[in-house]
Amino acid sequence: MAFLTEPDPKRGVALPIVPGISRIVANNPSLMTYHGTNTYLIEAADGFVVLDPGPDDDDHLKDILTATQGRVSAILLSHTHPDHLGATAALKARTGAATCAFHLSANPAFAPDVLLMDGETVAGMTAIHTPGHASDHLCFARSDGLVFSADHVMSWSSSIVSPPGGDMAAYVASLRLMLSRDDQLYLPGHGPPLMNPRPYVKELLNHRLKREQAILQTLRKAPHTTWDLVDRLYSKSHPWLRRAAERNVVAHLLKMQAEGLVLNDGECWWSNEASSCPHGGMLSSARTSETQLQLSKGGRP
């Protein structure tokens, strides 16, 4: 896929995007977050709406307070992964602003003040429940075609779908939901803005479906563990990227298992065209144990 890039953004200041909207890029760059988490500042009549306060970082919190002069009227959360949620409690404590997020929080330690349902309006935007990357993921859409797409659709990379919080079937359905819309601009949780997003979203969807078919075709030939599939279908060498690839493979397999396309005995995966694992469930047991451990831990690698 053709992803977008951007220079390392200036730190500690609000960078204008469109009239009334700017972003502060948190200083948490990584292989999973690109240059860092985008914290969006949205001008409102009574101050600023802050979308995704970002990681738990004192300097980033100070940058938000400086840029808004402490005039924060609401705090919106796209989802509760730490790189988006981390600074929320401190920002609320400093400003008194109410937190608004999906009504079923994926983080048991966080309960929003305002419980948002799919389709409800908040701060002049419509909350769109888009599970897949996270079960509580929301996009926020304005009536002018601008959408805060958070980690559901990012311009710099595809999203990781890591069970149990991540769900590939839900992710595919959420991509199709966004394809049914006629939005003009996405502002993602990481990376630069994405103009004319529908062709890109379609490419993301097709990429996932092709990956699924590649996994299925491989399993029709022989049973494999998830790490075997990573070795055959991905070219990742960095440990973190290999782990992310493995989480996506697990998500694909669980989706196909629910659809009756593949089977699993805890030791290997194979096509349902075979009644049992042809190798007696003894394939790469060490690798499979690692996979099962990661699946039990869940969360984002």
Q: Quick one: pLDDT at residue 37?
A: 98
Q: Looking at the predicted structure, is the pLDDT value of residue 47 above 70?
A: yes
pTM: 0.91
Q: Looking at the predicted structure, is the pLDDT value of residue 287 above 90?
A: no
**Quick one: pLDDT band at residue 41, thresholds 50, 70, 90?**
very high
Q: What is the pLDDT of residues 73-118, one digit of tens each?
A: 999 999 999 999 999 999 999 999 999 999 999 999 999 999 999 9
Amino acid present at 126: T
Domain map of the chain by residue range?
A: 15-196, 211-297
Q: What is the pLDDT of residues 184-201, one digit of tens each?
A: 999 999 999 999 999 999
Q: Quick one: pLDDT at residue 300?
A: 33
CATH among 1.10.10.10, 3.90.1300.10, 1.10.10.60, 3.30.70.920 for 211-297: 1.10.10.10
Q: Quick one: pLDDT at residue 2?
A: 87
Q: Are 19 and 146 in contact (CB under 8 A)?
A: no
Residue with tokens 């409800």: 120
Q: Average pLDDT in the 245-259 region?
A: 97
Q: Looking at the predicted structure, is the pLDDT value of residue 295 above 60?
A: no
Q: Are 267 and 283 in contact (CB under 8 A)?
A: yes
How far does CA 98 lie from the centroid of its chain? 23
Class (C level, CATH) for 15-196: alpha beta
Tokens at residue 188, please? Answer: 């993602």
